[in-house]
Each structure stands twice: as C-alpha cells, then as structure tokens.
Chains A and B, each alone.
Chain A
C-alpha cells in the first residue's frame, strides 16, 4: 500500500547505516556477478555465431577478444564466473542449514573470495601456459 505523509514510526534502518562487513560485500557481489554473467552470455553467443558464420566473422571476433581491452573483459568475466560459482556453493551450504554461525559465516565469505581469485589466476596461468 502506498503510504501518504511521513511515517509515524521508526522505519527499519537501511543499508547505509550499517558498517560494511565481508558477508555484506559477498552478498551484493553474488548479485552483481550474477547480473554481469547474464549480460556476459552475449560474449559467448557472439563467438559461437561468428564461428558458425565463417572464418572472416570469426577472425573479427578473435581480433576484438584478443585485444588488450578484450582480454581485460574476458579476465573480468572469468572472475565473475568463478566468484559467482563459489558464492553459489556457499548458498548450497546454507540451504542445508549449516554455516550460518558468525565465525563460519566469516570464514565462508573470505573462502569464497580467496577461492574465486585462486581459480581465476589458475585459469589465467593455464591460458598463458597452454
């Protein structure tokens, strides 16, 4: 229902009132990476359609994706993918009812970040070495 006039009771405190914590940051990052991946699927469909279209179309895509800016975007995409994957696995743990205690929550949040950065670096090293 639309409220008319000022509220007569205290409203619940909103985001900006809280001191940022790692769990908050990881929560919003899960959403941001999810949304980024949503649009990131364009990168995949463009490459696949180009590959199906022929060598000149694919060559153009290769040149763009292989440029410095292109590589930067792909690096960011791969981090978003790994981060969202690790964050998702954290959600699976919570879905069982486990891992919601303060200490565990913090460990899981940091673990997500460390794992996602580790996997991104691993993939990047594999790319350079391959």
Chain B
C-alpha cells in the first residue's frame, strides 16, 4: 500500500517500482511461501493424526482429538492450510477468469469458503477439546 500523498514529487513510475503493478509488492508471494513452509511439518503431523484416527471408534477419536498436542497441531494445520489455499486459489481465479464481475464474485467466494472451512474446523476441534 502506498503511503505517499498525491503531492509527492516522485514520478508515478518511481512510485510503482518496488511494489509492482498490483501495488502489493511481494506480500502475496511471501505469505504464500511462509504458509507453504509451515504446511510441510503440519501436513506430516496431520497425516499421522488421520492415520491414528482411522483406527479408532467414536469415543477413541474424541479422546485423541481432545488431547492438547493433537488439537493444537490440527488447529495449526487448518489455519496455515486455509490461509495458503485462499492465496493459491486467488491466483488460479485471476489467471483464468477475465470478466471483472465474475472474478470479483469468485474472489469473494474464495475468501468465504476458506474462512468458513477454517472456522468450522477450529470450532469443532475446540468443542471436542473443551467438552472432553
């Protein structure tokens, strides 16, 4: 985001340099990479937890997800994955959808979906953890 006022002596070209045409610079790229790096260990933890879950009945599953370490790892995975996938899907939409209206609608849906999935998962994990 440009902090410069319209009375700046800098030329428009000079102002845009460093932030690029999208005016957000490397922000999108960087967040995509930070979440991608976080996703590697969290994904491995996630797969191990799912494998453990697959062997348990309802009571066993509740007990497992209710364990603090398991719940925290699941929450971290959900948080990082939904943030990351929202950024990734945004790029896919921007690459393929060229009608402005449709693009904006899909970008909104993308955000809604990521937040809904993230919050619903987090709520379920916390409920299991706190209710025992």
Contacts and interface: CB of A to CB of B under 8 A. Distances in A.
B33 A41 contact: no
B85 A58 contact: no
Contact of A81 (B37, B43, B121, B128): B43
Interface in A97-125: 123
A89 B33 CA distance: 10
B22 interface: no
B127 A52 contact: yes
Contacts of A26: none
B120 A51 contact: no
Contacts of A31: 92
Interface residues of B, number: 33
Interface string B41-64: 001000100011011001101100
Contacts of B81: 37, 41
B124 A41 contact: no
Given A88-B36, A95-B33, A48 B125 contact: yes
A76 interface: no
Interface residues of A, number: 29
Nearest to B53: A47
Contacts of B127: 52
Contacts of B74: 48
B65 A41 contact: no
A37 B113 CA distance: 13
A88 B39 contact: yes
Interface of A: 31, 34-35, 37-38, 41-42, 44-45, 48-49, 51-52, 55, 58-59, 62, 78, 81, 85, 88-89, 91-92, 95, 123, 126-127, 130
Interface of B: 33, 36-37, 39-40, 43, 47, 51-52, 54-55, 58-59, 61-62, 65, 74, 78, 81-82, 85, 88-89, 92, 113, 117, 120-121, 123-125, 127-128
In the A-B complex, list the 6 residue pairs whose CB atoms are closest, starting with the nearest: A52-B124, A48-B124, A55-B58, A52-B127, A38-B85, A45-B121
